[in-house]
Amino acid sequence: MSTLTVAPARVDAVSPDYCMARWKQFYIDIWRVHTSLVALRILERSFNEFRRAFPEGVGLITIVEAGAPLPPPEARQALGQLLADNASFIRYSAVVYEGNGFRASAVRGVVSSLTLLARPPYPHRVFATATEACTWFQRSFGAEQVNGKELEIAIADLRRRISVRALR
């Protein structure tokens, strides 16, 4: 049985509240607890630097861990502005809102509805798991552009590495 070896994602910033990382043409932001304006400024700087390396466009995957509260209104507004300002650089995007039960399902529904209203110029979907998002990226854009299994492994490895950091 062969094991798939995947280059690790490069961490740009990490704290108990978030992790921002890059892997190939994907920018990965993980919201673990609070979404603050300070963190969004870090995301903006980091994402802007990252996207310059990919003039053909980038993929964006946002993961909101189970139990993370919704961002406050000013953070939601800043995040919406960040996405609008970078819309021409984003080729595809997914939000993963983890968790089970009514609350998680309701939040995914709200995020999906807001996306429909915002009408981003790139394909965007909301999922319950990173695995679902990675499968969608590959199915939608082809394995020659996005290897969903490799992306999934890179995200799992990233999450393992940031949990180890949090324990130190």
Give per-residue pLDDT as tens, 38-75.
999 999 999 999 999 999 999 999 998 988 887 888 88
pLDDT of 168 reads 45
Give per-residue pLDDT as tens, 135-154.
999 998 887 888 999 999 99
The answer, yes or no, to whether residue 1 has pLDDT greater than 50, is no
Look over the chain and give the mean of its residue pLDDT values, rounded to a whole number.
87
pLDDT of 17 reads 94
Q: How confident is the model at residue 167 (pLDDT cuts 50, 70, 90)?
A: very low
pLDDT of 89 reads 95
Q: Which of 63, 62, 61, 50 is nearest to 89 (CA)?
A: 50
Q: How confident is the model at residue 4 (pLDDT cuts 50, 70, 90)?
A: confident
Q: Which of 64, 88, 66 is nearest to 76 (CA)?
A: 64
CA dihedral 127, 128, 131, 133 (to 10 degrees): 10
Residue environment code for 36-75, b if the CB has 16+ CB neighbours within 10 A, otherwise e: beebbebbbebbeebbeebeeebbbbbbbbeebeebeeeb
CB 123 within 8 A of CB 93: yes
Give per-residue pLDDT as tens, 73-120.
888 888 888 888 999 999 999 999 887 777 667 676 656 655 655 678
Domains of the chain and CATH, by start:
10-167 (3.30.750.24)
